[in-house]
Amino acid sequence: MKRARLLLALFAVIAQPPVAAQPVHAPQLGSAERTRILDALRPAPDSEIRFIVHELKVIEGRTARYAYAVVAPSKQEYDGGEYLLKFAGHWQVIWSVTGGGTDDCRNAADYYRPALRLLETEGIDADAVALQLREAFLGLAAADADDPDCTAVGDLGPELPDPAPDDLPPPTPHGRPRLVADPKYSAPITEGDLDGDSRPDKISIVHILPGGAGRIIDKGITIANPWDTNLSAQALPDEDTQMALLIETSGTGARYLLHSPYIELSARLKAGAPVVVKRAGSALARAFRKDCPALHRDFLLMATEAGIDIALFWSVDHFEVCWPEEIP
């Protein structure tokens, strides 16, 4: 069965400062640098089309300056796209994926590969600067392996040479992190005395990148899914996880990575952060203790589609979820 995948992801990427020495910056609104980059994306020099800029970064590589942009015409005069540009006296598009046509997943994956290798040879961390480049490549390659008839939506632009393996820098011995900060929320998003030592524990929201591609999670992080106590649900999924909780206890510094679809669901229902700290002595805590006697400390309140709030709390040596016995 044929399956279609969308190449373009026209939204802001999750990004952190690159780990490489080369600096990266976003050109300021109205700056000459920003104007010149956007002019290079216009269909004609005299075009008056205005762009909606979803992402724009300038990166200093080892041998040249590059820009990464995700833009769309404000009045949808044509399909927007994802672009790599290089500065050599002037800005020029050297790679792009735009909306419109279709291709098979293998060709599309092969088109992404040299873009990633170019950034790597230039000492640029693609995961930090342009996360969706690697995500699109991995997704397309996996789709092709799963279904040779898979098709992808998008027009492929200029061809980049695919460097020989000897041209690539050696892989980092420490691997790439699978956990990245969620840019929509400060870290930590909140604090609460979850473990009862009278000192606040830090609760942060992180994005878990897919497994593979040399990505790792730091040793010492305890991974669990307290929303589903089945053993099969405890292991971290290999696929992309948009939202998870990283909790660091104040006493020992132990870290807990808690994952579940309920986290994203609660964030959507609350139209904000997925959890809210509630105090151990509150009336709400007393109400939860009727069904969950082990809830003695501060806890994290979450929403569910059923209209019943649930509580994430620390119990002796692990996290549990309290599901009240009530009818919404």
- Burial (CB count within 10 angstroms: exposed 0-12, middle 13-18, buried 19+), residue 306: exposed
What is the token pair recorded at 114?
Answer: 């040299």
pLDDT at 294: 95
> How far is residue 177's CA from residue 28's CA, in Å, rounded to a whole number?
29
Q: What value, to the nearest 5°, has the Cα angle with vertex 263 and ends 283 and 256?
A: 85
For 289, phi and psi rounded to 5 degrees? Answer: -65, -20
What are the structural domain ranges in the chain?
4-170, 179-322
Number of separate helices (H) and strands (E) present in the chain: 6, 19
- In this prediction, residue 130 carries a pLDDT of 79
Print pLDDT tens along the chain (328 aa): 444 444 443 333 333 333 334 488 999 999 999 999 999 998 887 888 889 999 999 999 999 999 999 999 888 887 888 999 999 999 999 999 988 777 788 888 888 888 888 888 888 888 777 777 877 887 787 777 667 788 887 888 898 876 555 444 444 445 567 887 776 777 899 999 999 899 999 999 988 877 765 678 888 999 999 999 999 899 888 777 879 999 999 878 899 999 999 999 999 998 889 999 999 999 999 999 999 999 999 999 999 999 999 999 999 899 999 999 864 4
Rounded Cα–Cα distance for residues 65 and 80 (Å): 23
Take residue 14 and report the two structure tokens written for it.
């999750």
Give the max Cα distance, the chain: 71
